[in-house]
């Protein structure tokens, strides 16, 4: 993908957003608690019978092989016990290929019990900052979007790539940007006009990029895109690396649009432009009826994190 364009997307972020990137993540999207890890080299046990993390004396505190394995439920868990470490730092991987995060003297591991080996020092430091941010009263996985994306790119994407591609393409015909409000009544004509103004340029880019004009429709159930466009988009996804596919998948899930996800990753859309398209209809309602505090404003903050995190993750994974 175009690295310079990704760099421009990252530079466009509000510095205050970056400094509080994890803080806006909304807990309601997550459910279960962490499961137990019985690996002898680990000094920590995650209990599945509560929300606490139990500290266990290590067999050999001096051993560098001691580690902390994040259970699979960390990817979707709620608060997991209390903070059980004092210092967070990064170091080069044992094989010299990549970087790892250390919690005190223990190497952080993925849910599959492999060291969290990151491609760049920049990404390792960013994930270390997420761990450093955690408060004494509890570890909050939902405030670690970069950690979650790293685990996805390292473990889920390589194993389930065909399934991810299948799911992305399955929803492509119902893409948000293809659905057009009717223009024949007063209730929807304003939405239709705004869609023409804001979304048509993106559809024009999609046509120029893949050589096939997309079909717009007014049904909530979606329509059928030209096979040539479907094949072209699928071929693009097949050429992505694991970090790119993880980023596209995450953005598409939040945007309800594979088109927007691809445009963001390729640099066609900046983050705020993407958010404007995603929220186009809702923002029109807010303009008309007013903003609900504690509702619309939190939704916007949450969406900004969900779209920004994959862009930042992808940029940091390339040292951009």
Per CATH, 31-141 and 153-316 having the same topology is answered: no
Length of the chain: 320
8-14: average pLDDT: 49
* Among the four given CATH numbers 3.30.9.10, 1.10.287.1260, 3.60.40.10, 3.30.2180.10, the one describing domain 31-141: 3.30.2180.10
Does the pLDDT value for residue 265 go beyond 80?
A: yes
For domain 153-316, the CATH architecture is Orthogonal Bundle (1.10)
Strand ranges across the sheet with 67-69:
67-69, 106-109, 99-103, 88-92
pLDDT score, position 267? 94
Residue 88 pLDDT class (50, 70, 90 cuts) = very high
pLDDT band at 145; cut points 50, 70, 90: very high
Q: 7-11, 25-29, 148-152, 170-174: which has the minimum mean pLDDT?
A: 25-29
- Inform me whether the pLDDT recorded for 35 exceeds 60: no
Amino acid 83: pLDDT: 86
Q: What is the mean pLDDT of the chain?
A: 80
Domain ranges within the chain, ordered by starting residue: 31-141, 153-316
pLDDT digits (tens, 9 = 90+) for 162-203: 999 999 999 999 999 999 988 878 777 789 999 999 999 999
pLDDT in tens, 119-130: 999 999 999 999
Residue 207 has pLDDT above 90, yes or no: yes
């Amino acid at each position: 993908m175009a690295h310079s364009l990704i760099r421009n997307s990252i530079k466009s972020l509000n510095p205050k957003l970056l400094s509080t990137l994890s803080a806006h993540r909304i807990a309601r999207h997550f459910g279960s608690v962490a499961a137990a890890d019985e690996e002898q080299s680990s000094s920590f046990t995650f209990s599945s019978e509560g929300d606490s993390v139990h500290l266990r004396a290590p067999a050999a505190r001096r051993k560098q092989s001691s580690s902390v394995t994040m259970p699979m439920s960390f990817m979707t868990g709620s608060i997991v016990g209390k903070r059980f470490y004092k210092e967070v730092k990064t170091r080069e991987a044992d094989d010299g290929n990549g970087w790892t995060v250390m919690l005190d003297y223990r190497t952080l591991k993925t849910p599959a019990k492999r060291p969290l080996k990151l491609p760049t020092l920049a990404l390792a430091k960013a994930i270390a900052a997420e761990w450093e941010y955690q408060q004494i009263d509890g570890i909050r996985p939902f405030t670690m979007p970069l950690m979650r994306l790293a685990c996805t790119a390292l473990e889920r994407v390589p194993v389930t790539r065909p399934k991810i591609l299948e799911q992305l393409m399955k929803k492509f015909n119902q893409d948000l940007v293809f659905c057009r409000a009717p223009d024949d009544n007063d209730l929807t004509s304003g939405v239709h006009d705004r869609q023409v103004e804001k979304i048509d340029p993106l559809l024009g880019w999609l046509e120029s990029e893949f050589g096939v004009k997309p079909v717009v429709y007014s049904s909530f159930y979606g329509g059928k895109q030209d096979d040539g466009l479907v094949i072209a988009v699928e071929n693009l996804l097949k050429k992505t690396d694991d970090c790119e596919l993880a980023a596209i998948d995450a953005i598409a899930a939040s945007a309800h649009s594979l088109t927007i996800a691809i445009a963001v990753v390729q640099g066609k859309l900046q983050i705020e432009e993407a958010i404007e398209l995603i929220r186009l209809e809702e923002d029109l309602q807010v303009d008309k009826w007013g903003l609900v505090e504690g509702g619309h404003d939190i939704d916007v903050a949450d969406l900004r994190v969900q779209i920004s995190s994959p862009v930042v993750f992808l940029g940091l994974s390339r040292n951009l």
